[in-house]
Structure 1
Amino acid sequence: MSIEPGTDPLNPIDNDTAWVATQIAEYVATDGASPQFRPGVPLLLLTVKGRQSGAWRRTALIYGEDEGRFVVVASRGGAPRHPVWYLNLRENSEVYVQVGARRFRATARTASQEEKPDLWAKLVAIYPEYADYQTKTDREIPVVILDPLDD
């Protein structure tokens, strides 16, 4: 018996943007060894539950590490609105993460105003385009902390 995609966090619906879907498929097939977004720019897979549909959806994101937790940016390339995955995790903070071969549950939260500057600087050091994205939009681009719950 097969499980319908999206009804279980271990069988999510992948991002339907073609190049992101390709990244996800390669990432899953190689336990994160491929694809390489850019040299020195690491990717993780984030699975979140839809706030309206209830479906589990997965996307690939650039990440940084900070004191045993993982940090991502809800940039959407500097678009005026937040990415859907960010809106979803604000409603449902339990997420699933894959970093390389490691898969785990995590709690997601937006970095506080006190936490954000240091985390933002770390992420901009990994992917300098984030600084440009912030200049393209009036919204404050959120930094999201993913605190692992288990392995």
Structure 2
Amino acid sequence: MGLTALVRRVGRTRWFARIGRATSGIDRRLHKASRGRLSVLGRPTLPHLVLTTTGRTSGQPREAVLLYAVDGDGWVLIGSNWGQERHPAWSGNLLADPRATVTVAGRTTPVVATLADVDERARLLPALLRVWPGYADYADRTDRELRVFRLAPA
């Protein structure tokens, strides 16, 4: 079993989610310092990007390193927050101001985010689950519906 398959498998567990939450700040700094070449797990083997939103309260730039799926010329994100009861801050920031940037492989692109409606969510969710099957487990751990966003180049 390769590293990506192993990470996808253990990524469904509660203990992995706890580790992910605890190391997200470190991962973000490591990702930024290495220009996307390194993560807490070593060389990233899953598609990841840096999403920069505007803080809905502070007005300051906020960064999150997230897995994504591709949809045409855009990117698809899910606000899993590791299956916690609250939505991740970045998703609330996108609802307040859908303008953001994504950085993939060192290239930054301005984007506009759209919260997926029921039909679009049904279309986009399988691609996200192919990237990270654990999203299904995270959804089962919470009563909230995980927000799915499509980010289109601005």
Q: Which has the higher contact order (CA 8 A, sep 6+)?
A: 2
Percent identical: 35
Q: CA RMSD in A?
A: 1.8
2: distance between equivalents of 1:78 and 1:59? 16
- Within 5 A, what are the aligned runs for 1:36-75? 40-75=45-80
What is the DSSP-based 3-state SS (H/G/I as helix, E as strand, rest coil) of the residue aligned with 2:119?
A: coil
4+ runs of 1 displaced by more than 3 Å?
A: 36-40
Number of aligned residues: 133
Contiguous gaps of at least 5 residues in structure 1: 1-16
The one-letter code sitting in structure 1 at the alignment partner of 2:118 is: Q
1: distance between equivalents of 2:25 and 2:78? 19
Q: Structure 1 stretch 38-47 or stretch 111-120: which is displaced more?
A: 38-47
**What TM-score does the superposition give when structure 1 sets the normalisation length?**
0.80
2:74 matched to 1:79? no
Matching residue of 2:94: 89
| Residue of 130, 133, 140 corresponding to 1:128 | 133
Contact 2:38 2:44 in 1 (8 A): no
What is the DSSP-based 3-state SS (H/G/I as helix, E as strand, rest coil) of the residue aligned with 2:87?
A: coil
2:113 matched to 1:113? no
Matching residue of 2:7: none
Q: How far 1:27 sits from its partner (Å)?
A: 2.0
The one-letter code sitting in structure 2 at the alignment partner of 1:72 is: L
Contact 2:37 2:44 in 1 (8 A): no
2: distance between equivalents of 1:35 and 1:148? 25
**1:97/1:39 CA distance change after superposition, 3 Å:** closer
Structure richer in helix, relative to its length: 2
Contact 1:78 1:134 in 2 (8 A): yes
Matching residue of 2:28: 24
Contact 1:40 1:126 in 2 (8 A): no
Deviations 1:109-142 (A, max 9, x none): 1111111112111111110100001111111111
Contiguous gaps of at least 5 residues in structure 2: 1-20
